[in-house]
Chain A
Amino acid sequence: MSPSVPLQEMIRAIRSARTQCEERGVIQRECAAIRAQFRQADNGGRSHNLAKLLYVHMLGYPAHFGQMECVRMIASPRYSEKRVGYLGAMMLLDEKQDASLLITNSIKNDLSHSNQYVQSLALCTLACMGSAEMCRDLAPEIDRLLRASNSYIKKKAALCAVHIVRKVHELGELFVPAARSLLSEKNHGVLHGAVVLIIELCEQNPETLERFRKTVPDLVQIMKGLVLSGYSPEHDVAGISDPFLQVRILRLLRILGRNNEGASDSMNDLLAQVATNTDSTKTVGNAVLYETVLTVLDIKSESGLRVLAVNILGRFLLNNDRNIRYIAMTSLQKIVGTDHNAVQRHRGTIVDCLKDQDASVKRRALELSLALVSASNIRSMMKELLLFLSSCPPELRAHAASGIFNAAERYAPSQRWHIDTMLHVLITAGGDVRDETVPNLIQLITNASELHCYTVHKLYRALLLDISQQSLVQVACWCIGEYGDLLLKGDCQETEPVQVTEDDALDALETVLQSHMSSPATRGFALTATMKLSTRITDNVDRIRSIVSIYGSCIDVELQQRAVEYNALFRKYDHMRAAVLERMPVIEKNSPGHTNGESTGEAVKDVPTAKMKQGEPLLLQQPANQVCDLLDLLGGSEETLQPGPAVDCLVSGLSVHAAGTAGGDLLDLLGGFEPAELSPAPQVLAYDKGGVTLTLSCEKQSDTGLTVTLTASNSSDSDLSSFTLQAAVPKSVQLHMKAPSGDSLPARGTAKVTQMVVLNNPNKVNLKMRVRVSYTRQGSPFQDTVQIDSFPGLDAAGQ
């Protein structure tokens, strides 16, 4: 075993090690030596060894075996050993270690030591790592030291008391009288400690705060002394006398003046004086001004003073120093809610800061800019924000994109502008936007019916340029599918005309389908869009058929399912294809933040019926149910109502649950519930018009489940074809329509169509159902709606 070397030689040896391995070797040898030394009896080199161990610990190597040695050293009578022992305690022991309890007694003894430097070691260690139990034990000692000792110990005792109060809130009461008396000290260190202690006490306990309010005049006095005094060599920093103490007092004044008129009044003069007299060429002066501004803005200051404070912040914004600009923006962020107009005046400078090189400044400028957007400045602000988005650092992109969307939604001056803005964002930062952006944008587009042509042309062009941004590609595919006819027509007033042939459009969609950059969701969009085009174009239907049939054997299950269903649509149900793939109605605008899947009742009530294509809010559910039911017909087995990629989500999202939601509120509008007749599973005639009759019977399956069977028959003289039924129920009721037995009702009641509807009413609400009947008679379509309030087989409460 090599002999142990003094500390500095060991450090030299470690530093000269050329590789990690060598260093580890040296350290292992040293640690072994140290451990051996620790085990021996008291020798002169104990402090050596502990110091070495602490160095090794700082390099990151384990040093827990030194803990007991620390405890022993602290108890030693020699000052040098105590010093290193306490240092070791602060580095190696913390309140989570068991060994820390062992030093409580030593600390207690040292607190009453005759030598003040030993006392200060103990105080320092207690303030650094004192646990709650230690604090409780030693609090009376600290209180004693606060009152009767020299200023060197008093200031340390004050900060130790701060630590105690932070750890054990109840002990705050103990220190209140001492803290009060310390304010009359002359020594700056003690004064500073006292102010910190009072701040801590006031923050913990509102009653204490009330009591300390009486000290405001004293504090103002002290502050005045500092500001107006001449040059004091001991405390001067660049012309400011003791800035640390000044800032602390300002903070205490802030706490005492908050929400209190009297205290705020007495500070007004002082704050005005500090704000005007402080020299702001150096950081120190700015630090004091900053604290003053924060105080002025937080207390109930008079308006002149507030204006002064905001002006100071404005000056900070123009400062060359980045730090100052940063904190100016941080402070402005805090007051943008209350003093909005004052901050608006500095909008230009803030927007300039968006172009700063520094990432911290950029972040602050972004947040503040987003807060400053209003209806009057939306256009210019948006230009700047979009410019920022194209060059901003990646970690800020998502935040910027969502901020832009929110601002656009709240203040968009026109629909076209709104759509343009959203497209721009998707093109620049499409990868960072949130998922719900796609359905939101789609819903916005459908609402702006005059702009469909313009939108689809723009999106087509964007798609040709870049297919890597998934959100953009999804929206583009959806629009091309939906408004493909407008795209192919070519003429559009708002953009330059460009001839798009059917092949071009299909090429674009096929590129998306085949590209390795497209996510499965995007592919789903593209496939559905291709399918929709089959009813909007005339020549290339075969091409579409072949595309669709290829994907019938695709590995991705979702795509395969879609392709198979679309194939079936081509083969067996070609007559329905046009109806299934027709243009979607305007999608409801829900409250912001909801996807279209969860519609709230109010949304339905708000929409004027004139806006809807067919004039009935219930029709919202039609495409959904139509598709659902048809898919039931086609597939029969697949779970068609589950959340799929966004397109179908828009549709099927309005499915089972939402179908009930809107319908439920309509039903609420329409009136009360009549009690059902009590009869065991009878047939009730629900609808009778034009020769078509609809009867229903119910059967309770369980406490909350119910099966309703709808039977339709045709007593008129003409055959009815494409007969379909759709149903809607109140919000919390779940509905599942099974496949109907058929879809044609021959004349004179020769055959019937039955359809089973399974209902689940877990909340046991009043059960009502709205049924829509639609059929084609002699080539012309017909639709009607009936409401069913009473269900045979249910008791009076409808359960």
Chain B
Amino acid sequence: MMRFLLLFSRQGKLRLQKWFTPLTDREKKKVIRDVMALVLARPPRSCNFLHWRDIKVVYKRYASLYFCTGLEDQDNELLTLEVLHRYVELLDKYFGNVCELDIIFNFEKAYYILDEFLMGGEVLETSKVAVSVSMENADTLQETMEEYMNRPAF
């Protein structure tokens, strides 16, 4: 299973963090610091896999964002690269040509998409179409409720 998923920029600003194991705030901060330092120090065309403590770190850079995840011993690293790619595709489909600003200003949507795609550190839905459909439905549900309650969304 995946232990965590982090998105951070080249400057070291965290854009999204998802933890699949219970850790204290202090431990989380330490993990973020260490993993960020390791990943940001890597030269451009190096291997996407690292070893840190007892977990395998898989990271991929998309434009200005690093997508980084920690795996356990049994997991398939190459497949995880595909998982990260699939997540980016889903974001792209939802936001239309996604860029870092979209993720900053709509971070809660990024989380909702993630929750439709991964759960408990495992892949939940393998079909792109199904994820998009559920996101649309959920958004519609939210808007309908909002309209009904006559209040603006955010």
Chains A and B are bound partners: yes
Please report A residues at the B interface, Cβ cutoff 8 Å.
6-8, 11, 15, 44, 47-48, 51, 54-55, 58-60, 78-80, 83-84, 87, 94-96, 115, 117, 120, 123-124, 127-129, 131, 152, 155-156, 159-160, 162-163, 188-189, 192-193, 196, 234-235, 237, 242-245, 247, 251, 283-284, 286-287, 290-291, 322-327, 357-361, 363
Contact B142 A323 (CB under 8 A): no
Measured between beta carbons, the chain B residues less than 8 angstroms from A8 are 105, 154
CB B145 to nearest CB in A, in angstroms, measures: 5
B115/A124 in contact, CB under 8 A: yes
Cβ A83 vs Cβ B112 within 8 A:
yes
| A326 CA / B108 CA spacing, docked (Å) | 36
Report whether B79 and A243 are in contact in the complex, using a CB–CB cutoff of 8 Å: yes
Q: Which of A8, A95, A284, A287 lies at the interface centre, i.e. has the most chain B CB atoms within 10 A of its CB? A: A287
A-B contact count (CB 8 A): 158
Does any Cβ of A come within 8 Å of B99's Cβ? no
Q: Is B63 an interface residue (CB 8 A)?
A: no
The answer to whether A360 and B49 have CB atoms under 8 Å apart is yes
A-B contact pairs, 27 of them (CB 8 A): A54-B107, A58-B17, A58-B107, A78-B149, A79-B142, A80-B142, A87-B108, A87-B112, A94-B19, A95-B22, A128-B20, A159-B119, A189-B127, A192-B124, A192-B126, A244-B82, A244-B123, A251-B74, A283-B81, A283-B82, A286-B78, A287-B79, A322-B46, A324-B78, A326-B49, A360-B50, A363-B51
**Within B48-107, which residues are at the interface with A (CB < 8 Å)?**
48-51, 74, 76-79, 81-83, 86, 104-105, 107
The reply on B11 being an interface residue by CB < 8 A is no
Give min CB distance, A239 to chain B, whole Å: 13
With contact pairs A237-B82, A357-B46 given, residues A156 and B111 touching in the complex (Cβ less than 8 Å): no
Instruction: Report the nearest B residue to A232, measured CB to CB.
Output: B127
Instruction: Verify if B34 is at the interface (C-beta below 8 Å from A).
Output: no
The reply to whether A55 and B107 contact each other, CB–CB distance below 8 Å, is yes
A contact residues around B115 at 8 Å (CB) = 124
Q: Is B35 an interface residue (CB 8 A)?
A: no
B149 touches A244 (CB 8 A): no
Interface pairs A-B: 8 shortest CB-CB:
A287-B78, A127-B120, A44-B151, A287-B79, A322-B47, A360-B47, A163-B120, A159-B119
B19 to nearest A CB, angstroms?
A: 8
Q: Which residues of B contact A325 (CB under 8 A)?
A: 47
Whether B130 sits at the interface, judged by CB under 8 Å, is: yes
User: Which chain B residues lie closer than 8 Å to A94 at the CB level?
Assistant: 19, 22-24
Q: With a CB–CB cut-off of 8 A, which chain A residues contact B79?
A: 243-244, 247, 287, 291
Give the residues in chain B near A152, CB-CB below 8 Å. Answer: 134
When distances are taken between beta carbons in the complex, the residues of chain B under 8 Å from A196 are 122
Residues of A within 8 A of B107 (CB): 54-55, 58
**Number of B residues with CB within 8 Å of any CB on chain A:** 57
- In the complex the two chains form, is B81's CB within 8 Å of A128's CB? no
B10 to chain A, nearest CB (A): 16
If over half of B's interface residues share one DSSP class (helix, strand or loop), that class is named, otherwise mixed; here it is mixed
**What is the CB-to-nearest-CB distance from B82 to chain A, in angstroms, rounded to a whole number?**
6
A327 vs B48: C-alpha distance when bound (angstroms): 11
Query: A interface, by DSSP: helix, strand, loop or mixed?
Result: helix
Q: Which among B22, B47, B126, B151 is the interface contact of A189 at CB below 8 angstroms?
A: B126
Residues of chain A with a CB closer than 8 A to B111's CB: 87
Nearest Cβ on chain A to B67's Cβ, whole angstroms: 15
CA distance A11 to B16 in the complex (A): 15
CB of A436, distance to nearest CB on chain B (Å): 27
For the complex, give the distance between the alpha carbons of A363 and B153 in Å. 52
Whether B126 and A124, one on each chain, are in contact in the complex, defined by CB atoms closer than 8 angstroms, is: no
